[in-house]
Amino acid sequence: MLLSALKKGEKSRIVSIDTNCTNEVYQRFLDLGFVPGALVELQNISPLGDPMAFMIHNTLISLRKIDADKIIVENGKEETSC
Amino acid sequence: MLKNACEVCELNTTSDLRPLGESSSKYDYTIALAGNPNTGKSTIFNALTGLKQHTGNWPGKTVSSAKGNFSYKEHEYQLVDLPGTYSLLSNSEDEEVARDYILFGKPDVTVVVVDAGRLERHLSLVLQIQEITSKVVVCLNLIDEATRHGVVVDVRSLSKDLGVPVIATSARKKEGISDLLLAIHQVATGKIVPEKHEIKGIPSEMQKALYEVSNALYSLDNTLPSRSWLAMRLLQNDESISTALSSGKLSTKINKDNFRPVLDLAIAYRAEDGMQYSRKFSEAIFNTVFKIVKTTVQSDEQQRAFRVDRAIDNIVTSKYWGFPIMLLMLGGILWLTIIGSNYPSSALSYLLLDQLYPLLKEGAVSIGFPWWLSGFLIDGVYLATAWVVAVMLPPMAIFFPLFTLLEDFGYLPRVAFNLDRIFNKAGAHGKQALTMSMGFGCNAAGVVATRIINSPREKLIAIITNNFSLCNGRWPTQILMATIFIGALAPSYMSHTISTLAVIAIVVLGIGFTFFTSWMLSKTLLKGQSSFFTLELPPYRPPSVLQTIYTSLIDRTLIVLWRAIVFAAPAGAIIWLISNLHIGDTSIAVWAIDALNPIAVIIGLNGVILLAYVLAIPANEIVIPTILMLTAMTLGDATLGEGAGVMFEVSDGEIANILKMAGWTTLTGINLMLFSLLHNPCSTTIYTIYKETNSLKWTTVATFLPIVYGVLVCFLVTVAWNFFS
């Protein structure tokens, strides 16, 4: 499922990053530690619903929903295609 | 300054450290300071050089590289503070600055500052830098914070795994600095030779490509450093590297012609495997990092500090409390500033205006100054300066430390987090919330801070709208008008609260204009979508209160005050001159005021205010003194002192009386507050905008757009006011 589909406080492991995104965005994700296998938790949601803050490698990183949707995580309550 | 016994003790190795600031131009070694954003690089830089780079708890604060010197054990060192970077693999501007320096500047030692509590992410930069140079010292900073978060790092095995010296420090507490100095010294002088580190886990087909390209480089110049890294970048299509190589910047033996076949080889491999190279390389780095971290770091995520951070975040970003808390913080700072500056302001004006001013006048008479000289110097230059000090110093001395405490604590990125959706909808960059916040201190600083925004389109939007952050120079105008014309309407026990609310309303209106203008620009002149945006929300750090108060008083308050004084003195001279030089029977000032008055009345202001805004283009700080001096002058000298352009009554009540005598109404007060928010930026900011944009067109837009708003808004308010009353 997509990273943005996590619920607040829910943890999951990153499966892959959408390969269609530009190299710059992909590199930036890697720089921030969003790599396959990393454990990520949705910790906070902005009062206006977007962006979201994810805890990854002990760091709180804020991503806009549209960007978080480029990351696919484990745990399939429902299968999402992308 | 007195030194305590420990600082001069021979057993203390830092006693060998002599910070040399910016002064020295000769040095034996250059040291580069690299690291992820927000790891305390600037704090280390300040500790070693004795300089006072502004530090703050938000990523991206250092936007260009600063240089400073120090000497240690008979050698002089130049330290270069590079912009914070997450990696050296992507192509953003600040990363290229850092990377180019390490590669082309060939520093003798590169100190990589990492956050001890976040090694999983920060070690990747260390490994990347080790690909370029082996002369690396790792500074494991924020070790105190890591301990508080229950993270324990095995420094010795980390050092062994990486093959370089690793020094644990807590720069804010000045712990570990002496060990760091020693390690820098040993690597610089060659007493320690760090090992070359190899990234493992690179797929074999990629290794082959790397090997061949790197060999081709070797055949051109067998002394070329960082060959495998250069080969990697060529495979990743890094144009600045191929340009640097073909232009002979990296090696005199390589030129356009003999480099061409190497580039062709790299291009051939690139065509085979496309972008996969950089991705596989990054993944290999991360796998190495994870392996190292697994064996050297133990962490307990159930630690209290983690829970505290989490609990604070749950409140300050919560759906219901997020926005009220932001307003409360803003209101609290404003309220403390208004209440707190009242008494020192009256004390200062009593001292400078009621006591010192008559003494100076008498003194001038007794030593036989002609009237025009004492008028020019004392009624003009001295009075304007004294006014600026009395009006500006107290609010600044309260506002800046409070704001800095909030900044150090780590609250500002949360503001950006809360407001991001609105900036996103307005087509602006999420980090604009940070530059906007900086604008509350000083717009010129806010404009410089926009360098953290990579997209040129979004940077321009942030620059143009920064003026809608009510800067510190304008607060005294707001506070005075709110107190006299709005607070006075309320019963006395509520007047401070009401005045504060009025100023908050203006600040919020300014934020509204920021959003509106950003939105309008991204729909018209600067069309586009907001770009990819990530923001690190740093852990909360208990601010060191005393140090913050000291540095924000010395560094910010006094600098800004000095600037105000520098502009106030000539302004005072001009005010006195135009009040006392006559054309026919009328002084130049009265001519100007009469000429401006008809226009001013239409927008609910008056000629004095407009003239004051013309005179105050160099600095908003002098608006109020100018208005008061000009008003006193136009009222005639019968009630208010000896010469035209003289003004020395200062308490709020007296000012209110004078302004009302000059025909001011509540409408004038409200419109002045609005016009103070919506008018051209001060000349320093305009110049800064020109430097940052390099465009006359955008500087003109940024200068005149707010005036158009101001005239329109004041006009509409005046029409509405006259309609309803």
Answer yes or no: are the C-beta atoms of B28 and B75 closer than 8 Å.
yes
Distance CA B9, CA B3 (A): 10
pLDDT band at A81 (very low <50, low <70, confident <90, very high): very low
Residue B701 has pLDDT above 90, yes or no: yes
Token pair, residue B103, equals 């590669």
Domain annotation covers residue B405: yes
What's the gap in Å between the CA of B124 and the closest CA on chain A?
8
Mean pLDDT of B262-272: 80
pLDDT band at B468 (very low <50, low <70, confident <90, very high): very high
Domain annotation covers residue B534: no
- Nearest chain B residue to A66 by CA distance is B532
pLDDT band at B568 (very low <50, low <70, confident <90, very high): confident
Least CB-CB distance to A27: which of B89, B314, B322? B89
Least CB-CB distance to A23: which of B92, B278, B317? B278
The total of structural domains in chain B comes to: 3
3-state secondary structure B447-508: HHHHHHCCCHHHHHHHHHHHHHCCCHHHHHHHHHHHHHHHHHHCCHHHHHHHHHHHHHHHHH
- Nearest chain A residue to B86 by CA distance is A31
Contact A27 B121 (CB under 8 A): no
Distance CA B249, CA B254 (A): 9
Residue B260 has pLDDT above 50, yes or no: yes
B710 labelled ligand-binding? no
B542 labelled ligand-binding? no
Question: Tens digit of pLDDT for each residue in B348-375?
Answer: 888 888 889 889 988 998 998 888 888 8
Q: Does B95 touch chain A (CB under 8 A)?
A: no
Both B184 and B212 in one domain: the answer is no
Contact A64 B420 (CB under 8 A): yes
Q: Does B291 touch chain A (CB under 8 A)?
A: no
B454 CB neighbours in chain A (<8 A) are none
Distance CA B99, CA B21 (A): 24
Q: Which of residues 8-27 of A touch B (CB under 8 A)?
A: 23-27
B231 labelled ligand-binding? no
Mean pLDDT of B20-39: 80
Q: What is the pLDDT of residue B657?
A: 83
B36 labelled ligand-binding? yes
- Which residue would you say has higher pLDDT here, B531 or B290? B290
Range of the domain at B95: 5-188
Choose from A22, A57, A71 for mutation: most chain B CBs within 10 A. Answer: A57
Question: Tens digit of pLDDT for each residue in B149-165?
Answer: 888 899 999 999 899 99
Mean pLDDT is lowest, of B3-17, B112-126, B177-191, for B3-17
Mean pLDDT of B621-638: 77
Mean pLDDT is lowest, of B46-55, B80-89, B220-229, B461-470, for B46-55
Domain annotation covers residue A66: yes
Q: What is the pLDDT of residue B91?
A: 63
Domain annotation covers residue A54: yes
Dihedrals phi, psi of B640, to nearest 5 degrees = -130, 40
Mean pLDDT of B487-506: 87
Domain annotation covers residue A81: no
Contact B313 A53 (CB under 8 A): yes
Share of chain B above pLDDT 90, in %: 25
What's the gap in Å between the CA of B419 and the closest CA on chain A?
8
Q: What is the pLDDT of residue B301?
A: 63
Mean pLDDT of A5-9: 90
Q: What is the pLDDT of residue B643?
A: 45
Question: Tens digit of pLDDT for each residue in B400-419?
Answer: 888 888 888 889 899 999 99
Mean pLDDT of B177-198: 87
Contact A58 B149 (CB under 8 A): yes
Least CB-CB distance to B279: which of A26, A47, A59? A26
Residue B681 has pLDDT above 90, yes or no: yes
Contact B118 A23 (CB under 8 A): no
B143 labelled ligand-binding? yes
Mean pLDDT of B259-266: 86
Contact A67 B322 (CB under 8 A): no
pLDDT band at B493 (very low <50, low <70, confident <90, very high): confident
Range of the domain at A65: 3-73
B37 labelled ligand-binding? yes
Q: What is the pLDDT of residue B180?
A: 92
- Nearest chain A residue to B414 by CA distance is A46
B91 CB neighbours in chain A (<8 A) are 24
Q: What is the pLDDT of residue B505?
A: 94
A23 CB neighbours in chain B (<8 A) are 275, 278
- Which residue would you say has higher pLDDT here, B593 or B302? B593
Token pair, residue B377, equals 């110097």
Q: What is the pLDDT of residue B648?
A: 47
A64 CB neighbours in chain B (<8 A) are 420, 424, 430, 533
Mean pLDDT (chain B, rounded): 84
Both B98 and B217 in one domain: the answer is no
- What does B54-65 look like in DSSP terms, one character per residue? ---SSTT---S-
Q: Per mean pLDDT, which of B348-362, B389-403, B456-470 is the most reliable?
A: B456-470
B142 labelled ligand-binding? yes
Buried b (16+ CB within 10 A) or exposed e, B390-415: bbbbbbbbbbbbbbbbbbbbbbbbbb
Both B669 and B633 in one domain: the answer is yes
Choose from B89, B129, B421, B534 for mutation: most chain A CBs within 10 A. Answer: B534
Contact B536 A62 (CB under 8 A): yes
ipTM: 0.90
Q: What is the pLDDT of residue A33?
A: 81
pLDDT band at B75 (very low <50, low <70, confident <90, very high): confident
Closest alpha carbon to B165 in B141, B135, B145: B135
B416 CB neighbours in chain A (<8 A) are 62
Please return the burial class of B554, using the count of CB atoms within 10 Å of its CB with bins 0-12, 13-18 and 19+. Answer: exposed
Choose from A42, A58, A69, A70 for mutation: most chain B CBs within 10 A. Answer: A58
- Nearest chain A residue to B88 by CA distance is A31
Closest alpha carbon to B395 in B292, B503, B492: B503
Both B137 and B219 in one domain: the answer is no
Which uninterrupted H or E stretch holds B286?
helix B276-296
Contact B533 A67 (CB under 8 A): yes
Q: What is the pLDDT of residue B465?
A: 96
pLDDT band at B595 (very low <50, low <70, confident <90, very high): very high
**Number of H helices and number of E strands within chain A?**
2, 5
What's the gap in Å between the CA of B297 and the closest CA on chain A?
12
Domain annotation covers residue A38: yes
Both B614 and B706 in one domain: the answer is yes
B681 labelled ligand-binding? no
B286 CB neighbours in chain A (<8 A) are 30, 33, 35
- Which residue would you say has higher pLDDT here, B125 or B354? B125
B264 labelled ligand-binding? no
Both B348 and B429 in one domain: the answer is yes
Residue B210 has pLDDT above 80, yes or no: yes
Contact A51 B430 (CB under 8 A): yes
Domain annotation covers residue A82: no
Both B211 and B148 in one domain: the answer is no
What's the gap in Å between the CA of B113 and the closest CA on chain A?
16
Q: What is the pLDDT of residue B546?
A: 84
Q: What is the pLDDT of residue B90?
A: 66
Both B235 and B116 in one domain: the answer is no
The total of structural domains in chain A comes to: 1
A39 CB neighbours in chain B (<8 A) are none
Token pair, residue B213, equals 């390209």
Contact B90 A51 (CB under 8 A): no
Q: Does B533 touch chain A (CB under 8 A)?
A: yes
Q: Does A63 touch chain B (CB under 8 A)?
A: yes
Both B505 and B593 in one domain: the answer is yes
Q: Which segments within chain A are labelled E, that is strand?
A: 11-17, 39-45, 52-56, 59-63, 71-73
Residue B469 has pLDDT above 90, yes or no: yes
Contact B283 A36 (CB under 8 A): yes
B91 labelled ligand-binding? no
Q: What is the pLDDT of residue B639?
A: 40
Contact A47 B282 (CB under 8 A): no
Residue B641 has pLDDT above 80, yes or no: no
Domain annotation covers residue B387: yes
Mean pLDDT of B19-40: 80
Choose from B121, B199, B320 for mutation: most chain A CBs within 10 A. Answer: B121
Token pair, residue B257, equals 């012609």
Both B263 and B150 in one domain: the answer is no
Residue B193 has pLDDT above 70, yes or no: yes
Distance CA B99, CA B82 (A): 9
What's the gap in Å between the CA of B23 and the closest CA on chain A?
37
What's the gap in Å between the CA of B319 and the closest CA on chain A?
4
Domain annotation covers residue A51: yes
Note the maximum CA span of chain A: 31
Q: What is the pLDDT of residue B644?
A: 46
Residue B244 has pLDDT above 90, yes or no: no
B144 labelled ligand-binding? yes
Residue B521 has pLDDT above 90, yes or no: yes
- Nearest chain B residue to A48 by CA distance is B421
Q: Does A76 touch chain B (CB under 8 A)?
A: no
Both B364 and B476 in one domain: the answer is yes
Domain annotation covers residue A20: yes
Mean pLDDT is lowest, of A58-72, B6-20, B304-318, B359-373, for B6-20
Q: What is the pLDDT of residue A41?
A: 92
Residue B298 has pLDDT above 60, yes or no: yes
Both B180 and B211 in one domain: the answer is no
Q: What is the pLDDT of residue B636?
A: 63
Closest alpha carbon to B121 in B286, B331, B296: B286
Answer yes or no: are the C-beta atoms of B349 and B650 closer than 8 Å.
yes
Least CB-CB distance to A62: which of B282, B320, B537? B537
